[in-house]
Amino acid sequence: MNKKDLCTFIFIIVFMNFSFSQEKPNLGYETLTDVPYGKGKVTVEGKIVERDLLLDIYLPSNANKDYTKDLQKKPPYPAVILVHGGGFQRGGPRQAPYTEDGALHSRMEDYAQTLTPLGYVCFIVEYRLSDELPVPETALDASWLLNMEDAITETAVKRANLARTYDGKEALETAEAKTMIWKTLISAAEDIKKVVEFVKNTEDQFNIDSGKIGLGGHSAGATTVLNATYGLDVPVSAVFPLSPVVTGLNLNKAVSNNEIPPMLHVISQFDEPAVLEFAGVLTKRMHEVESDYNLIWIPGFGHFYPRNSVSLGDDATRISLQERLIAFLDKHLK
């Protein structure tokens, strides 16, 4: 065997030993996938049918004590519900992360993998999307809603169509899109209400403290968090909308006092114009009712940003987004 062949042989042996000795580690969580949490009405070939709504569950595991630090908290655990974005046009559990303007966005799975080993049961949910033509149970002119024509602007339609192009879908016509987005927006909030009910009904099964539920999401998911929390009054203990557009929700009617969950509201420096515009509206309203509210700013990023981004607080603090989120949830749920 010549020197070149010997080197190749040694490399193969070393690589094989490394590959087979590196078993997939237990990182402080176990997962259950495609768990039904309720049913929702959609339209299939012109007929209204019900389909199962699914979620993934991340459960704390102390198999790897070095990673979990003995889980910092014993059961029952607080729960965190995580809602994906996608302009109400795309997204769901276990999909590839979004990219835009050179940024790679953290998925809801990434947040779950951070939070679960620290003693949270995390639920990553799907909800009905526009192409399914969802049929909401809530009236389209319910008292907590704005007028559809005012709430769903051309800018909102453009953003939805941008999300569709990323998935190779055809753009929606404005008139058609407004009604589709409006019904989806309402249906999504209804679906999150069903998730909260599911979490409360399975507290014994998953070792959950049903009195301590956090609710967060990004973009359309963050909008859904606001609509479910303040429009449908879902009983949660803390909310963290990441880059929401306040649309659908009539803030003045839905948020009338400070008896509401604490909020960690996150936006980025170069976020979508509608996100930045409505951030001021939401901040003003939360201050008017003297709620427990903090506005957080992510410098240097657009609408998509990783969870370990630097975040700047309205109290002049400078720490990563995930550290800030952990501190927020620990304060209000533990």
What is the value of pTM for the model shown?
Answer: 0.89
Domain ranges of the chain: 27-333
CA separation for the pair 318, 325 (Å, rounded): 13
Q: What does the pLDDT read at residue 158?
A: 85
The answer, yes or no, to whether the previous bond of 60 is cis (omega within 30 of 0) is no
Q: What does the pLDDT read at residue 174?
A: 75
Q: What does the pLDDT read at residue 193?
A: 98
CA separation for the pair 233, 226 (Å, rounded): 10
Q: How many H helices and E strands in the chain?
A: 10, 12
Q: What does the pLDDT read at residue 66?
A: 56
Closest residue by Cα to residue 42 from 109, 134, 174, 176: 134
Q: What does the pLDDT read at residue 123?
A: 98
CA separation for the pair 44, 41 (Å, rounded): 10
Q: What does the pLDDT read at residue 90?
A: 93
Q: What does the pLDDT read at residue 17?
A: 38
Q: What does the pLDDT read at residue 18?
A: 34
CA separation for the pair 28, 77 (Å, rounded): 14
Going residue by residue through the chain (334 aa), what tens digit of pLDDT does each one get?
554 454 434 333 333 333 333 334 567 889 999 999 999 999 999 999 999 999 999 999 876 555 555 555 678 999 999 999 999 999 999 999 998 888 889 999 999 999 998 999 999 999 999 999 999 999 999 999 999 988 888 888 888 888 899 888 899 887 778 899 999 999 999 999 999 999 999 999 999 999 999 999 999 999 999 999 999 999 999 999 999 999 999 999 999 998 999 999 999 999 999 999 999 999 999 999 999 999 999 999 999 999 999 999 988 899 999 999 999 999 999 9
User: Given phi > 0 = left and psi -120 to 50 = alpha, else beta, which region is 219?
Assistant: left
CATH of 27-333, one of 3.40.50.261, 3.40.50.2300, 3.40.50.1820, 3.40.710.10: 3.40.50.1820
What is each CA distance from 303 to 51, 100, 127, 254, 285, in whole angstroms?
A: 31, 8, 21, 26, 23
Q: What does the pLDDT read at residue 70?
A: 52
Q: What does the pLDDT read at residue 322?
A: 96
